[in-house]
Amino acid sequence: MIKLVVFDCDGTLVDSQAAICRAMDAAFAAAGLPAPDRAAVRRIVGLSLPQALLELAPDAPEDRRRHALEAYKASFRAARSEGTLEQPLYPGMAGLLGRLHTAGRALGVATGMSERGLRACLARHDIRALFTTLQTADRHPSKPHPAMLEAALFEADAAPGEAVLVGDTVFDVAMAHAAGVRAIGVAWGYHEPGELLAAGAAGIARSAEELEEMIDA
């Protein structure tokens, strides 16, 4: 019996690709760095922001990356305050979360987002109250380190075998494996299904309905 279901956020619960790419463009411009390739930006979604910037600009001076980091945060804050931040829930996810919660499952999030950003995102979609545990990259090492998932297990009083991690990147799958938790990949995110399977995902869900069936499989 699965007691705890932990979701990644960007690329799994919400489609934040446009917002992330726009903020990254603004961050690199503010730091005087060449704009990153959008395909490359998609590849780093899920990592903590410092790690993502290191991946995207490995040869940039450290002070430039720090400048980009602050500019990225400022871009997100501005978009949120202006009401222009695009983070729509993927189809069927609100209903799935509601059904899992009603069935007595503990729900969690493990994300590369900041705690402030995650709480604002969940509140915007009126789903914050459904979650028992929220784990973010500003309080833990970046994925694929298992710290976020281990903290979620502790807070939900669940053993690794009683939990499942749902994510869209190989970072999610690797984090789950490091914590001894089964991973289910989703086909609508930022890494290809074949990559997720090769990394060790137990399966790939192509809809919220299929994901619901796979959680207890």
Residue 95, number of CB atoms within 10 A of its CB: 13
Cis peptide, bond prior to residue 193, ω within 30 of zero: no
What is d(CA 27, CA 140) in angstroms, rounded to the nearest whole number? Answer: 23
Q: What is the DSSP string of 178-213?
A: HHT-EEEEETTSSS-HHHHHHHT-S-EESSHHHHHH
**Domain 4-15+87-215, CATH 3.40.50.1000 — does that match?**
yes
Residue 7, beta-bridge partner list = 109, 166
Pick from 91, 75, 89: nearest CA to 122: 89
**Domain 17-82, CATH 2.60.40 — does that match?**
no
- pLDDT of 217 higher than 80: no
**Quick one: pLDDT band at residue 177, thresholds 50, 70, 90?**
very high
CA dihedral 89, 92, 162, 204 (to 10 degrees): -90
- 168 an active-site residue? no
Q: Hey, where are the domains in the chain? A: 4-15+87-215, 17-82
What average pLDDT does range 178-201 have in this prediction? 97
Out of 8, 15, 168, 172, which one is annotated catalytic?
8
Structure tokens at 65: 């990356």
Q: What is the torsional sign of CA 44, 145, 172, 174?
A: positive
Per-residue pLDDT tens digits for 88-134: 999 999 999 999 999 999 999 999 999 999 999 999 999 999 999 99
170: enclosing H helix or E strand: helix 170-179
What average pLDDT does range 205-217 have in this prediction? 95
Percent above pLDDT 90 for the chain: 92
Out of 10, 15, 168, 172, which one is annotated catalytic?
10
- 138 an active-site residue? no
Is the Cβ–Cβ distance between 204 and 186 less than 8 Å? yes
